[in-house]
Amino acid sequence: MLSPSGVGYVELRMNGRTILVFAMVSTVSALRSIDELRGMFESAFGPGKGELRMACAPGRANIIGEHTDYQEGFVAPFALKERCYIVYRQRNDAILRAFASELQEWAEIDLSQMAKQRQANQVWGSRTQDWTDMTWLRYVAGPMEWMRTEALVKGEKEYRGCDALITSTVPMGGGVSSSSALAVASAVAARDIYRDLSWTSTYNMLKACCESEWHYSGVRGGIMDQFASLNGKDGEAFVLDCRTKKIAHWLAFPASLSFVIINTNVKHSLVDSPYAQRRQACERVAAKAKVSHLRDLSDMNDNDKALQILQSLDLDATDLKRATHGVLENNRVLQAVDAAQREDW
């Protein structure tokens, strides 16, 4: 059963002994069997001692609301059935030893040393740190370090490492938030590892997932991907108000509706995309318009007036185009929601 915080635990027992514990976010059904995951872990790390535990989190797709979350706007995502899984066994030291199954790559890092390096360089996106060259490890180790250092308990002296098997059915680089699914699964694992140190709230969980991913990926993104992975449900989308960080509406899918998502195997990387430049353009325009975010212009509920304000700011063509999209897209989300609630898909 899911707890109020959105994380539930399911135990698999054999001969009276717990052999695997699920730590799950959202209510999207898992696709890989417990036996398969346990076998994958033991093939990599051996049977060993201590119970196995598992965290998993889904990828996401977005119906409408692009480049609006970082402007405190509206988005309408839904969680996918495809999931990222981390099967782990706690260690007695601060070492994270990880194996990425699909990549067939091993990595090892001392979480306490990683924390010292980050604290010495608090610049957003300090991707030049020499603690690892493996991009995927950032999304595993980052949340584990961040949850312990920033979110859990200031007085706890020991970092707790684990052996971790990472496997995923979310297409990597496919634009469906495989990296955020990995980061959320890692944060769920960290919360489980420190489960005797009660601290959490849903907001703190979201904050830890987002800030650790932003820092270690080098891209300060929005909150949609992580929020969708934490809160998604089977057969429903939701409208997220990124200003309040709350769900404004749930949208149940009618039985006649299907979304087809095609994996073209064209790789997408937020780090290498113009995402950061788009965000900076929107922030520049908001500052010129003397509002905190472009959401404030959308909230006027008068597109013509909002566009007149933008056109009066003496913007270059690129900034004007990007800001115009941000303002109008927010209103398109609300129009789409109104249509969906009338089942006018």
Phi, psi of 154 (to 5 degrees): -70, -25
Rg (CA), the chain: 21
Task: Say whether 296 is catalytic.
Answer: no
How far apart, in Å, are the Cα atoms of 20 and each of 155, 262, 316? 30, 33, 57
Q: In what order do the strands lie in the sheet with 17-25?
A: 7-14, 17-25, 52-62, 77-90, 162-168, 95-100, 105-110
3-state DSSP helix/strand/coil % of the chain, to nearest 5: 40, 25, 40
CA distance 161 to 88: 10
Q: Which residues pair with 162 in a beta bridge?
A: 90, 96
What is the longest distance spanned by two Cα atoms in the chain? 73
**One of 225, 234, 304, 319 is an active-site residue; which one?**
225
What is the DSSP secondary-structure string of 200-268?
A: --HHHHHHHHHHHHHHHHS----SHHHHHHHH-BTTEEEEEETTTTEEEEEEEPPTT------------
Residues serving a catalytic function are 225
